[in-house]
A and B are shown apart, each in its own frame.
Chain A
Amino acid sequence: MSFFQVKDLGIRFGGVVAVDRVSFEVKRGECYTIIGPNGAGKTTIFNLIGLLYPATSGKIFFQDKELTGLSPHQVADLGIARTFQNIELFEHATVLQNLLIGRHRHRRTALWQELLFTPAVRRAELAQREAVEKVIDFLDLAKYRDSLVAGLPYGVRKVVELGRALATEPRLLLLDEPSSGLNPEETDDMAFWIEDIKRQLGVTVLMVEHDMNLVSRVSDRVLALNMGTVIAEGTPAEVQANPAVIEAYLGKAA
């Protein structure tokens, strides 16, 4: 049995084959990174895993449960959380509210209880809040707790989005380019957090990333994609040295 497995995954948009029979496996507790040049189909794979796009072929298994045929919110319910490349936060809500929405899959109260705000709802809310505060502590977001997301700088939003994904208490965390748009210092922080998420919280991380420093620092294994197909898999050092990968990034030597 494997923790997370993608088998022969493929999708075509019209005549374009964006992802072509990609297979890989993620082990529990590791950080697995997908790299590749722009347009290689990395984010598309994430969208396929999140079932935002219907896959043309292939299957996805999470803890031996097949994901195909579920809807996006059911994927989240299984304990798969994700962040987005270009940040998809709830702009007109505070950081705290954003993180609380992350707790949505742990909600246990019924509509009528909420309309009356019964003691059960109050207890549940306090418990949710405590869970969220742990994330706030972990990511050092306390000073932004009550600020509206719309007014926050990009780097902070990126962290808030990570926090929202963590608030769901995921078993598998998908990070779509966690360092894009961050300065070197913020990237450094991000690397620490990803390591901590893996070690302290024991969350398995599946990541798409460009920054090779970050990749080699945190990932256990790397998958290189080009034009929707797998060209290499292995440790960061192995993949970086692979001639096919170098060719994909730099072009063929003349």
Chain B
Amino acid sequence: MRFLFKTGYAQDLRLFKHGGQVFWYGLLMVLLLAAPYAIGEYLTSQLQFICIYSIVGLGLMLLVGFTGQISLGHAAFLAIGAYTEALMQARGVPFFVSLPCAALLSAAMGWVLGLPALRLKGIYLAIATLAFNVIVEEILARWESLTNGNSGLNLKPIELFGMKLDGDAGFYYLCLGLAMLSILAVLNLLRSPTGRAFVAIRDSEISASCMGVNLANYKTMSFALSAALAGIAGALYAHKVTFISPEQFTLLQSIELVTIVILGGVGFVHGAVLGAAFLIVLPQLISLAKDYLPADVAGTGLQSVVFGLVLIVIIIFEPLGLYGRWLKLRTWFELFPFYRRGMFRRQKSYMKSERLR
């Protein structure tokens, strides 16, 4: 067990609380940097996906986990980012201009979607974002002169300052870099007044407004920031898959994105990354397992069943998600042999109404 002796207020503002953290995160960083040369093309490509999904996951975590607003429409922001990138690249706009544009356009749409959020709560907000998703998807399919409809758009590899990022390693470093920047930005936000205002809105809107938090501003801001991250991820996603069409950005995709937050652990930045990693790794594991299963079971439905079961099991047994499980493991090791069963046990409870909040 580690005890931290605090000697100054600045200590609480540090990103790394102690030397151990510096060491472990540093080691992780080194491993991630070395990865493309060590693990081969296929796994590097999966790591790229994990980075991309982590960025969306962070955006959703900011919105769902920290501001307490629900969105079932994030695939639409992903789509806006992806299409902006594809269209701008086709018109010869360099990547370092088009990426911010993708983020900004997405943020603007997020801001627009945030406006109804001022009046809507819970399920009504969820349905509004869901409706937004469906409408965006339909517009992308129908606005053929711009988006080429259901036949989709193709993308070329990114050119950055005269360098072509068509190799796996180059694109991987771009994704990794952007993911790191996003994480840093979110962490910075969370230790400043804005992040605290988000948390305040999540826990009690009435109280937050009585403390001087402008609910309208901060809710729309949270939506805009979250959408901006999804937009960045969308632009990267478009380059990753090199072909985009409206079918990639459906409601189901949105729901899958929300599961990142749930699987990883609501309210933890780590959770966004863990959830994203899990979402990418799971299908790989399933396809590995398929060889050992009878043909009837190993059909198209297997993935859906396993995914659903994992979701159910994690929510029932680990409401804090994968990160929560990790925290418990760590506590177990730190306290060994004094860990008690039931240390983290939840109280039995009846439903508390959330209709009034």
Contact = CB atoms under 8 A, between A and B. Distances in A.
Q: Do chains A and B touch in the complex (CB under 8 A)?
A: yes
Interface of A: 50, 52, 71-73, 75-77, 81-82, 84, 88-93, 96-97, 100-105, 107, 109, 111, 114-117, 121-122, 125-126, 128-130, 133, 164, 168
B193 A107 contact: yes
B9 A93 contact: no
B210 interface: yes
A84 to B, nearest CB: 7
18 contacts: A52-B209, A71-B209, A73-B213, A76-B209, A76-B210, A90-B203, A90-B208, A92-B267, A97-B199, A105-B212, A109-B192, A111-B221, A115-B185, A117-B188, A125-B192, A126-B9, A130-B9, A168-B212
B203 A104 contact: no
Contacts of A75: 210
Nearest to A113: B192
Interface string B201-239: 011101111111111000001000000000000000000
Interface of B: 9-10, 12-13, 185, 188-189, 191-197, 199-200, 202-204, 206-215, 221, 267
Contacts of A91: 203-204
B193 A73 contact: no
A101 B221 CA distance: 17
Nearest to B190: A114
Contacts of A72: 209-210
B188 A101 contact: no
Contact of A102 (B204, B206, B211): B211
B213 A104 contact: yes
B232 to A, nearest CB: 13
A126 B121 CA distance: 35
A81 B210 CA distance: 7
A149 to B, nearest CB: 9
B188 A126 contact: no
A125 B194 CA distance: 12
A111 B192 CA distance: 9
Nearest to A82: B210
Contacts of A168: 211-212
Contact of A104 (B9, B204, B211, B221): B211
A116 B188 contact: yes
A105 B212 CA distance: 6
Nearest to B193: A107
